[in-house]
Amino acid sequence: MNWNGIQAIWRFEMARFFRSIIQSIVSPVLSTSLYFVVFGAAIGSRIQEVEGVSYGAFIVPGLIMLSVLTQSLQNASFGIYFPKFIGTIYEVLSAPISSLEIVIGYVGAAACKSLMIGAIILITSFFFVDISIAHPFWMVAFLVLTCVSFSLLGFIIGIWAKSFEQLNLVPLLVVTPLVFLGGSFYSITMLPPIWQTISLFNPVLYLVSGFRWAFFGMSDVPVAASLVAITGFTALCLGIVWWIFKTGYRLKA
């Protein structure tokens, strides 16, 4: 194992994060606070409670998921796209480092960043609402799995993208709608039956639901289904990444 190589990539990527530390921390804190003000105060005053949990607290897992998903995609896709774009990727390709090690370096760094942002948002929310976490272990497990799997997806997008537009396309057109329609800010039981059924095809629903269960012990879909969904998704992404390195897709001429 080329540990020094993994560390070099990981450090380099983390340095990018810390170069813009203010932006990295301030922006999630600010947007979370705004969500609390808008959703928690404005809508919360009408909704009051969802299945025994105050609406302000109810949206916390969804808020964390929203940020963690977008940050994972952004960080990981940019992390690998940028060296491709400016040509420094030659060095990684010619180094004595395996594909697995490259992925651990890039995806690991992206996942760490979004994990940190998730933690920051959780801490911020303690200032706005009372929350207790029913299953801390599962909360962390769901969070880590989400960070890793969506960083893998970001990595794939970064390799696939041929322009900055394409880089932003998937998060914008696919992921953000899925997050908003995935029960981040409501329970799908509040929806008409037809939309409940449609929602079941939204993979993000399973993430949010499992994550929320870890907080409050309640969920839209069975926890086992959530676990299967996220594990399956991670496996799928790993498979695609494996194929990319095997064929050199958009990495090697």
Partner 1 sequence: MPSIVSVKNVRKSYDDGFEALKGVSLDIEEGEILALLGPNGAGKTTLISTICGITTPTSGSISVGGFDVSADYRAARNLIGLVPQEINLEPFEFVMNTVRFSRGLFGKARNDALIEDVLRDLSLYEKRNNRTVELSGGMKRRVLIAKALSHEPRVLFLDEPTAGVDVELRKDMWELVERLRQDGVTVILTTHYIEEAEAIADRIGVINNGEILLVEDKTALMARMGQKEMRIELTEAATKLPESLSDYNLVLSDDGASLVYSYDTKAQRTGITSLLKDLQAAGLGLRDVQTSQSSLEDIFVGLVKESS
Residues at the interface with partner 1 (CB under 8 A): 2-5, 7-9, 11-12, 15, 19, 83, 86-88, 90-98, 248, 252-253
CB of 105 to partner 1, least distance (A): 9
Is 239 or 248 the residue whose CB approaches partner 1 more closely? 248
Contacts of 152 (CB under 8 A, 6+ apart): 76, 103, 107, 234, 237, 238, 241
Among residues 73, 72, 69, which one has the least CA distance to residue 179? 69
**C-alpha distance across the termini of the chain, in Å:** 26
Nearer to partner 1 (CB atom), residue 24 or residue 184: 24
Sign of the CA dihedral running 40, 46, 50, 53: positive
DSSP designation for 185: S
Nearer to partner 1, 189 or 247 (CB): 247
Minimal distance, residue 89 CB to partner 1, in Å: 8
The answer to whether 61 and 212 are in contact (CB under 8 A) is yes
Instruction: Give the shortest CB-117-to-partner 1 separation in angstroms.
Output: 21
Length of the chain, please?
253
In terms of CB distance, is 103 or 145 closer to partner 1? 103
Q: Using alpha carbons, select from 65, 80, 140 the residue that is nearest to residue 110.
A: 80
Nearer of residues 5 and 118 to partner 1, judged by Cβ: 5
Min separation Cβ 101 and partner 1, Å: 9
Q: Mention every residue, 6+ apart, whose C-beta is less than 8 A from residue 24.
A: 17, 18, 113, 117
User: Considering the complex, what minimum distance in angstroms separates the CB of residue 28 from partner 1?
Assistant: 22
Least distance (Å) between residue 222 CB and partner 1: 44
Residue nearer to partner 1 on the CB measure, 19 or 162: 19
